[in-house]
Amino acid sequence: MAEDVELATEGGVAASSADEDSVQFFKITTLSGTGSAYLNGLKRGDVIVAIDGRVNRHNLSDLLTGIRVRKDQETLVTYIRNGVLFSVFVTGYLGLDAEVATPDAIEECREIIDREGLIGKSGCRPYSVYINRENKCEIRDNTPSLLALVFPPFWMLSQRYVEGMVGCIMVYVVCAVINFWLFVLVYCAFSYSVWREQKKFVDMFLLRMGYRPYMRLAGYSEEYLQLALLKDRVELDFMYPSPEALDYKEKHMPKDPDRRDYLL
């Protein structure tokens, strides 16, 4: 079993670890709409099992305080939903209340952790997941990219937003034809704006295409997350499915299409 991780409390003292068997898993009962947990897609019924890739052994108060006082430092929270392990980066105030999981639920969570394994922060990146009414799913990497500052059209292309890329280039061309310094001003202002608000631009792109934010996740790659999402919602369809995702859908997709449950 993974070792414990230290979380700083408000007094600056690390929260104490319990003995090897005293893991504490917490089932979320309420969520604040302004908390980092809600904003990153956690829901009532999710069971928090690990912090920064290590099984949690802190009481709820120490856990929430330790994350909150880190301020701008991201914490990797791992939780279980419908028998599937998910992880997400959170910061500051989580805005949740929870109850301690029952011994039976703890044992079940242990089995899931042993089977699927916990991911750590090393090499882990933040992603956003979007869906539409036809169960089409898009996953976008939220890691800040300098490409958005250097040449926004190429960054838009990397985000699969061809319409936005074409529109951006057309604006650049028009400005360059009118006046060179106007082009420079627009280019610099727009590049800085896109670089500072990359996630908001992605949200805007996909909202125009009929997608809605579904959840925030952390993982090593889009292919890794596709498989995790399919374990929770096998009816999801990805624009660029990985071979592992295609194989999983082939094995687990209900043969009767009337059995599919739509997300929205």
Q: Which residues contact 48 (CB under 8 A, 6 or more apart)?
A: 25, 26, 28, 56, 63, 77, 78, 79, 98
Domain range list for the chain: 26-122, 129-264
The CATH number of the domain covering residues in 26-122:
2.30.42.10
Which of residues 211 and 164 earns the better pLDDT score?
211
Q: How far is 101 from 251, CA to CA, in rounded Å? A: 32
For residue 242, is pLDDT > 60? yes
Task: Quote the pLDDT of residue 16.
Answer: 39
Residues 177-224: pLDDT tens digits?
999 999 999 999 999 999 988 888 888 889 988 999 999 999 999 999
Q: What span, in angstroms and rounded, lies between the C-alpha atoms of 37 and 51?
A: 13
**What is the distance between the alpha carbons of residues 176 and 182, in angstroms, rounded to a whole number?**
7
Res. 144 pLDDT band, cuts 50 70 90: confident
* Structure token digits, residue 180: 């060179």
Q: What is the mean pLDDT of the chain?
A: 86
According to DSSP, residue 110 is labeled H
Which of 47-56, 158-167, 233-242 shows the lowest mean pLDDT across its residues? 158-167
202 exposure class (CB count in 10 Å sphere: 0-12, 13-18, 19+): buried
d(CA 73, CA 60): 19
Residues pairing with 238 in the sheet: 137
Residue 256's pLDDT band (boundaries 50, 70, 90)? low
> Taking the model in full, what pTM does it have?
0.80
Closest CA to 77 of 116, 112, 31, 126: 126
